């Protein structure tokens, strides 16, 4: 328990209360996704067609915020006008701040042990982020050993030895948010183009280190679909990561309120569905980009599978569920379902639950180019 009188009396802050958080810093505090806070029983709430998330997504937190300036991100430096860093939105949802002691306590005692199959620590670009992530990880491994930990890294501040140290401290999976899939888009959205420190080559270097240090199936990359790349370009990046032994975690571009790209349109539904399906084929379906065909605009016109095989895959609905680090039941289904992190309940891009027959029928219509949402 903190002895600081400014933080001691209140242990949890609901986002809508707009409590200022100058003294809430990691590793004493973390932010967590709204879905995680609901599942952990910290706030009341209900999410459309999904009772809980199976991944406890945590984010390191500092009053100074992230020092990078990614154009699509709600945590970026240019939003310094928002005095309360912990009140900023990130992947569309609020991330309330909570004492780490309380998280550990609830995980050790109060929560249904099947609820969380994974925990994830998201680093940001901040001088304390690397060291504090290690503190959070070591404590978790010691006190909640039954829930494996993923690290969403910040390659800009890391060297290979940092990956080795995280692995040796007990991290299970290492991920890199590459996000932008060509050097030009990367530079324009998270590098020099927006006065941000990230470099394309360093991100790929971190992915290659992850392949060596964590090994096959134990690393992954986040890719955002819809920031100006072609379907072929994003699938080439996905294939490169799969060839290294990793998996791809796809995000549909959806304009984050307050970000430099807030005026952009979300990724078109048909483009997104094709990319989801092709990514699943590359990651889990035994297919390769070399067997797929693309038109002059780089859109997929042939997935490289037989009609029956392709139909069965679409009917399963799995390619259209949220992709991320696996849970303990099915390695093809992500524990991290990020409810409505890249879309609204009326126009779901990544389904945070298993699709029913009606959902699959809607997806088929979207793939055919029909202008139809998911409600």
| Distance in Å, CB of 283 to ligand SF4, minimum | 23
304 SS3 class: coil
50 SS3 class: strand
Q: Which is nearer to ligand SF4, 35 or 76 (CB)?
A: 76
| Distance in Å, CB of 46 to ligand SF4, minimum | 28
Residue with tokens 């859109």: 299
List beta partners, residue 293: 302
Torsion of CA 254, 152, 352, 97, to 10 degrees: -90
Task: Give contact residues for ligand SF4 (rule: CB under 6 A).
Answer: 66, 68, 70, 73, 75-76, 124-125, 190
DSSP 279: H
Q: Which is nearer to ligand SF4, 152 or 267 (CB)?
A: 152
Cβ atoms of residues 178 and 191 within 8 Å: no
Whose CA is closest to 27, among 149, 125, 140, 135?
Answer: 135
Q: Which is nearer to ligand SF4, 76 or 149 (CB)?
A: 76
Rounded Cα gap, residues 257 and 328, in angstroms: 34
Q: Which is nearer to ligand SF4, 186 or 280 (CB)?
A: 186
Q: Both tokens of residue 119? A: 């925990």
Rounded Cα gap, residues 23 and 29, in angstroms: 9
| Distance in Å, CB of 190 to ligand SF4, minimum | 6
Q: Which is nearer to ligand SF4, 75 or 292 (CB)?
A: 75
| Distance in Å, CB of 304 to ligand SF4, minimum | 32
Q: Which is nearer to ligand SF4, 61 or 350 (CB)?
A: 61
Q: Which is nearer to ligand SF4, 76 or 137 (CB)?
A: 76
The answer to whether the peptide bond before residue 27 is cis (omega within 30 degrees of 0) is: yes
| Distance in Å, CB of 60 to ligand SF4, minimum | 10
Q: Write the DSSP string, 229-269.
A: --HHHHHHHHHHHHHHT-EEEEEE--PPTTSTTTTSPPPPH
| Distance in Å, CB of 171 to ligand SF4, minimum | 18
Whose CA is closest to 74, among 287, 269, 256, 316?
Answer: 256
Cβ atoms of residues 31 and 96 within 8 Å: yes
Cβ atoms of residues 237 and 225 within 8 Å: no
Q: Which is nearer to ligand SF4, 184 or 309 (CB)?
A: 184
| Distance in Å, CB of 129 to ligand SF4, minimum | 10
| Distance in Å, CB of 67 to ligand SF4, minimum | 7
């Amino acid at each position: 328990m903190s002895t600081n009188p400014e933080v001691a009396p209140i242990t949890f802050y609901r986002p809508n209360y707009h409590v200022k958080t100058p003294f809430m810093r990691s590793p004493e505090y973390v932010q967590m996704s709204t879905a995680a806070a609901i599942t952990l029983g910290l706030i009341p709430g209900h999410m459309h067609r999904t009772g809980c998330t199976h991944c406890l997504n945590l984010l390191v937190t500092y009053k100074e915020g992230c020092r990078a300036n990614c154009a699509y991100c709600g945590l970026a430096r240019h939003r310094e006008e928002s005095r309360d860093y912990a009140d900023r939105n990130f992947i569309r949802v609020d991330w309330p701040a909570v004492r780490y002691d309380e998280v550990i306590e609830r995980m050790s005692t109060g929560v249904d042990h099947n609820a969380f199959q994974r925990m994830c620590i998201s680093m940001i670009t901040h001088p304390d982020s690397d060291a504090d992530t290690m503190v959070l990880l070591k404590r978790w491994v010691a006190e909640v050993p039954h829930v494996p930990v993923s690290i969403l890294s910040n390659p800009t501040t890391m060297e290979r030895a940092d990956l080795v140290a995280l692995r040796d401290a007990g991290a299970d999976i290492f991920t890199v948010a590459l996000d932008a899939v060509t050097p030009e888009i990367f530079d324009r959205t998270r590098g020099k183009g927006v006065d941000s420190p990230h470099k394309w080559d360093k991100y790929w270097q971190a992915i290659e280190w992850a392949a060596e240090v964590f090994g096959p199936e134990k690393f992954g990359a986040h890719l955002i679909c819809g920031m100006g790349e072609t379907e072929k370009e994003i699938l080439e990046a996905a294939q490169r990561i799969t060839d290294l032994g990793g998996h791809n975690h796809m995000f549909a571009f959806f304009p984050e309120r307050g970000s430099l790209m807030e005026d952009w349109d979300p990724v078109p539904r048909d483009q997104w569905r094709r990319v989801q399906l092709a990514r699943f084929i590359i990651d889990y379906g035994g297919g390769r980009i070399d067997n797929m065909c693309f038109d002059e605009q780089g859109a997929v016109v042939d997935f490289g599978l037989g009609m029956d095989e392709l139909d069965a895959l679409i009917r399963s609905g799995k390619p259209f569920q949220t992709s991320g680090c696996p849970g303990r039941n099915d390695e093809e289904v992500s524990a991290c379902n990020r409810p409505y992190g890249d879309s609204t309940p009326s126009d779901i891009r990544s389904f945070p639950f298993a699709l029913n027959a009606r959902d699959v029928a809607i997806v088929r219509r979207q793939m055919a180019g029909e202008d139809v949402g998911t409600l």
